[in-house]
Chains A and B, each alone.
Chain A
Amino acid sequence: MSVAAIEAEGLTKFYGRRRGIEDVTFAVAPGEVFGFLGPNGAGKTTTIRALLDLHHPTGGSARLFGRDSRRDSVAIRARLGNLPGDFGFGRQASGREALRLLARLRGVDGLGRAEALAERFDADLERPLGQLSRGNRQKIGLILATFHEPDLLIFDEPTSGLDPLMQEEFLTLVDEERERGRTVFVSSHDLDEVQRICDRVGMVREGRLIAVERMVDLLGKARRKVSVRLSGPSSLEDLRKLPGVTELALADGHASFEVAGDFDRVLKALAAHHVTDIEAVHPSLEEVFLGYYREEGE
């Protein structure tokens, strides 16, 4: 059995009496893309900082590649790339200068695939970081985290500030890293982003890990809001009978309802009607949490 890329066991961090995270336990397998999902302030960044030995846990332990996150921190960091949340590197240094420094600290000859990544993300390596917009700085952060082709990539809110095209490029990059067998740990409060790339997801709320689910299972529990415009008279009684469909309302040719689980049955039921427009909205993060709790209650 291969050693987990990340293994947290009862990881706890208190700042004085204030709770950061409490009793967080999970494992990420090698080659897996794992999403760490939760609202701002839930404890995602605290968990990452504890994994990276930037914050010392007050309880529990973490192992990366089978090594203790505190005692073997330096050796562990040789095998990972990290994009911190709210990336910064001072105002004066250019991206290229930051890369050269990181390459020397990592003992990497040259800048690896940094040039190719810069071209791909349309990143300016020459201008001082203080003169770059937030999105352009974030691109430099992504390159610094990935240029040396690490075994484990840790991203904290990676697409923050990126425009939609670059967000897409980032998601493609993660897919490629997965294909190359790399492990990716992504912290995010954006469900769409996590949904696109993750195999499994851990949900953290108020410092506690409330669930670890496969992405498909999580989405099955989430309720999408569907809005349909119909032409001609319809009762939609067939829809009402479908399991997972709730809150059905019909007025003036406009139907709205919520769907949990398989969407295919809904589409097939709608096919019997003359649909002129349809919109399905993904649930917000809070709604996913509520959906999860509702399911647990049932």
Chain B
Amino acid sequence: MAGQVAALVSSHLRDRRRSLLAWGLPLGLMSAFIVAIFPSVEDSISKVVGKYPAGLKEAFGIGRLSNVEQYLHAEMLSLIVPLALGYLAVRAVGSGLAGAAESGRLDVLLSAPVSRRRLCAAGFLATAIELAVVLAISYLLTMLGSVLAGAGLAAGPAAAGFAGVWPLALLFAGLGIVACAWSLRTSVVTGAVAGVLVGMYVADLIGKLDPGFDWLRYASVFKYYGNAIENGIEPVAFLGVTAAAIVCAALGAWLFERRDLSA
């Protein structure tokens, strides 16, 4: 029943309302600060970056820093925001399942006529909304910083840059549900999936730095992340990663139905 999923999603978001601001505000303020200082550091940054090895610049997505969009991507959207949002996704989905098991909430919810599959779907959907809200807060604060500092950040490309993070982070929500089917301890779920998140980032980085290890990148979702603020959202990658996230969530829900529930 859609009503049950809606009730679970709204309850999840109500419980995590502080987290929306706790993650959205720092990321948004940090991005706003990066954008706001760009006009004053533009020249010196370009000179410094010009001396970096070409491979290093490509690996970290800092090939050119001739405009504020490139600077925002290099400083925030290539590393900090995707890693932070990936971690947030695991925390959010983990709190809805493993955290609920630890607090006893899961036992109470499953005393009601609601299936485990529906519970997983609600956790995944709530996390998808939570990620979108955090990204929206970050984006709006970044634009505010740009307007106040006169940095000239283009609204459309910036929106694409933040939106591009969403499917990547969502994949880790899907993996989080798979992890909850394996363990109902929040620390185990968060640690395991955060390890995969960092591992994928490092695999992508190694592949970029050394062409001999390019094959490693296929094991990483960061290969499909791209640079949406400069190149726009790549629809195939965006939809493909979103579909992979949904498949992971469905697999996790299927496995979750088959396990005993106790933290």
Contacts and interface: CB of A to CB of B under 8 A. Distances in A.
Interface of A: 15, 49, 52-56, 74-75, 77-78, 80-82, 84, 86-93, 97-98, 101-102, 104-107, 141, 144-145
Contacts of B262: 49, 54-55
B104 A74 contact: no
Nearest to A56: B260
B7 A105 contact: yes
B14 A105 contact: no
B119 to A, nearest CB: 10
Nearest 7 CB-CB pairings of A with B: A88-B104, A104-B7, A82-B111, A78-B113, A105-B112, A84-B107, A55-B260
A92 B15 CA distance: 7
22 contacts: A15-B260, A49-B262, A54-B261, A54-B262, A55-B262, A74-B113, A74-B114, A75-B113, A78-B113, A81-B111, A84-B108, A86-B104, A89-B105, A90-B105, A93-B11, A101-B7, A104-B3, A104-B7, A105-B109, A105-B113, A141-B108, A144-B108
Contact of B105 (A53, A88, A107): A88
Interface string B98-131: 0110011101111111110000000000000000
Contacts of A15: 260
B66 interface: no
A87 B105 CA distance: 8
Given A54-B262, A56-B260, A97-B11, A77 B112 contact: yes
Contacts of A74: 113-115
A146 to B, nearest CB: 11
Interface in B2-49: 3-4, 7-8, 11, 14-15
B258 interface: yes
B104 A91 contact: no
A74 B109 CA distance: 12
B4 A104 contact: yes
Contact of B113 (A86, A90, A106): A106
Given A80-B111, A93-B15, 6 more contacts: A49-B260, A53-B110, A54-B107, A77-B112, A88-B103, A105-B109
A270 to B, nearest CB: 49
Given A49-B262, A55-B262, A84 B104 contact: yes
A199 B188 CA distance: 45
A16 to B, nearest CB: 11
A49 B1 CA distance: 24
Nearest to A92: B15
Nearest to A73: B115
Contacts of A98: 108
B12 to A, nearest CB: 10
A102 B108 CA distance: 8
Contacts of A145: 111
Candidate in B4, B8, B104, B112 with the most chain A CB atoms within 10 angstroms: B112
A160 B148 CA distance: 59
B228 to A, nearest CB: 35
A75 B1 CA distance: 13
A234 B64 CA distance: 108
A77 B109 CA distance: 10
B110 A54 contact: yes
Contacts of A78: 113
Nearest to B117: A74
Contacts of B111: 52, 77, 80-82, 84, 145
Contacts of A101: 7-8, 11, 109
B130 to A, nearest CB: 15
Nearest to A148: B112
Nearest to B100: A90
Contacts of B114: 74, 77, 105
A97 B105 CA distance: 13
A101 B99 CA distance: 17
Contacts of A52: 110-111
A106 B15 contact: no
B15 A90 contact: yes
A134 B262 CA distance: 20
A93 B7 CA distance: 14
A80 B114 CA distance: 13
Contacts of A56: 258, 260
A86 B103 CA distance: 10
A298 B41 CA distance: 95
A52 B107 CA distance: 9
Contact of A77 (B3, B11, B113): B113
Contacts of A82: 107-108, 111
A59 B4 CA distance: 32
A101 B262 CA distance: 21
Given A74-B115, A104-B3, A105-B4, A89 B258 contact: no
Candidate in B107, B115, B258, B262 with the most chain A CB atoms within 10 angstroms: B107
